């Protein structure tokens, strides 16, 4: 009797499924995967930074045409850079922030006009503890790299929002006093060197691990050697901008900078900005002073004690805070200052 071999039914179903599946060509061992442009760009940036003595750690932030990377300075780089080696003297280690600007994505006018002006104004400043220091810049066909101080605590807006998240209004008198005083020192330093910032806002006030101020972003800055010069370019961030700038009038940029840090002080103490966009477009300067609303917990004496330590354009500060109309003692105090501030 002939031997009959029966096919396993389970195997038959497997064979049917295999026959129904479309044929897939096996990838050759010599075939390369098409590189992802983003991955390729990241590798290029990583290699560029390594070639200049920086080992990238992570991305801190990213915009339309720029990224900010956290990097470690390699020992060989520290040995060659005196400013960096001084900062790393205690631990032998130093972290920096590297701003990476894509030359392909950024507007050409920015590369031609605005970036060189920003770097000239910022790099030519003498070193100051409350101004972000730029250690070096370098560029390739693809990118421009700006190496600067790393501020571990983010910016002032982050700090204010953190306190709001904790159901608090403002960051408190002690922190406001410290930060405002340091911000005024930074502003006095750049003003004494003939530089006006023109974009002072909470986001441009960085904080290091000790919550010490580092003023940054000189993108709208301008060199004004003569303090009597009036500027005409309207720039800055709307909510922090002085009325005369918004109205496209000629303005004293030293005084408009001071208006902006008055807004910053209000934000620190109250946990919010004094005006919204609708109010800014409707009101003139005097109407703004009348409509300032402070939190009930705010003490004008505390405000004054913070401000009087700065000695920088005191009249302007008091005006933005609405104090002159409320306290005649302050007016007498100003008269007795004998011109130690700029009006």
With the CA atoms of 162, 167, 170 and 176 taken in that order, what torsion angle do they form, in degrees rounded to the nearest 10? -70
Distance from C-alpha of 145 to C-alpha of 45, rounded to nearest angstrom: 9
Separation of alpha carbons 240 and 264, rounded Å: 8
- Rounded CA-CA distance 102/100 in Å is 7
* Six-digit token string for 26: 């096996």
The 8-class DSSP code of residue 290 comes to H
Contact 174, 307 (CB under 8 A): no
User: Helices in the chain by DSSP H: which ranges?
Assistant: 9-20, 37-51, 75-80, 82-87, 108-109, 115-123, 156-165, 173-192, 243-246, 253-270, 277-282, 285-291, 300-307, 314-320, 328-335
Residue 142, judged by CB atoms within 10 A of its CB (0-12, 13-18, 19+), counts as: middle
> What span, in angstroms and rounded, lies between the C-alpha atoms of 119 and 249?
27
Give one DSSP letter per residue of 56-83, joined into a string. Answer: EEEEEEE-SSEEEEEEEEPHHHHHH-HH
Does residue 226 have an active-site annotation?
A: no
What's CA 328's distance to the chain center, in Å?
38
Q: Which of 48, 199, 217, 257 is catalytic?
A: 199
Q: Which class for 125: exposed (0-12), middle (13-18), buried (19 or more C-beta within 10 A)?
A: buried
Rounded to the nearest angstrom, the gap between the alpha carbon of residue 41 and the centroid of all alpha carbons in its chain is 24
Give ∠ CA 24-27-33 in degrees, rounded to 5: 120
Token couple for 194: 């003939």
Q: Which residues are catalytic?
A: 199
């Amino acid at each position: 009797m002939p031997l009959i071999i029966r096919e396993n039914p389970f195997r038959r179903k497997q064979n049917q499924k295999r026959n129904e599946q479309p044929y897939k060509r096996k990838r050759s061992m010599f075939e390369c995967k098409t590189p992802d442009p983003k991955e390729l760009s990241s590798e290029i940036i990583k290699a560029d930074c390594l070639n200049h003595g920086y080992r990238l750690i992570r991305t801190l932030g990213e915009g339309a045409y720029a990224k900010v990377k956290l990097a470690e300075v390699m020992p060989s780089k520290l040995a060659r850079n005196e400013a960096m080696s001084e900062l790393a003297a205690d631990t032998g280690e130093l972290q920096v922030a590297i701003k990476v600007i894509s030359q392909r994505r950024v507007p050409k006018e920015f590369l031609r006009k605005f970036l060189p002006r920003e770097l000239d104004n910022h790099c030519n400043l003498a070193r100051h503890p409350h101004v972000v220091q730029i250690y070096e810049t370098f560029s390739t066909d693809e990118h421009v790299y700006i190496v600067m101080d790393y501020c571990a605590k983010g910016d002032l807006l982050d700090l204010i929002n953190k306190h709001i998240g904790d159901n608090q209004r403002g960051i408190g008198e002690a922190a406001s006093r410290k930060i405002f005083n340091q911000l005024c020192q930074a502003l006095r330093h750049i003003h004494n060197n003939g530089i006006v910032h023109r974009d002072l806002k909470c986001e441009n006030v960085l904080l290091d691990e000790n919550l010490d101020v580092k003023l940054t972003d000189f993108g709208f800055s301008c060199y004004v050697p003569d303090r009597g010069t009036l500027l005409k370019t309207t720039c800055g961030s709307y909510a922090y901008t002085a009325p005369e700038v918004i109205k496209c009038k000629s303005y004293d940029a030293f005084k408009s900078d001071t208006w902006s840090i008055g807004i910053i002080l209000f934000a620190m103490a109250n946990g919010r900005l004094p005006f919204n966009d609708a109010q800014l477009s409707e009101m003139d300067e005097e109407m703004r002073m009348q409509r300032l609303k402070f939190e009930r917990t705010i003490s004008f004496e505390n405000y004054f004690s913070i401000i009087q330590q700065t000695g920088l354009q005191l009249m302007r500060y008091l005006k933005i805070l609405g104090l002159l109309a409320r306290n005649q003692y302050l007016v007498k105090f100003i008269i007795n200052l004998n011109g130690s501030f700029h009006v």
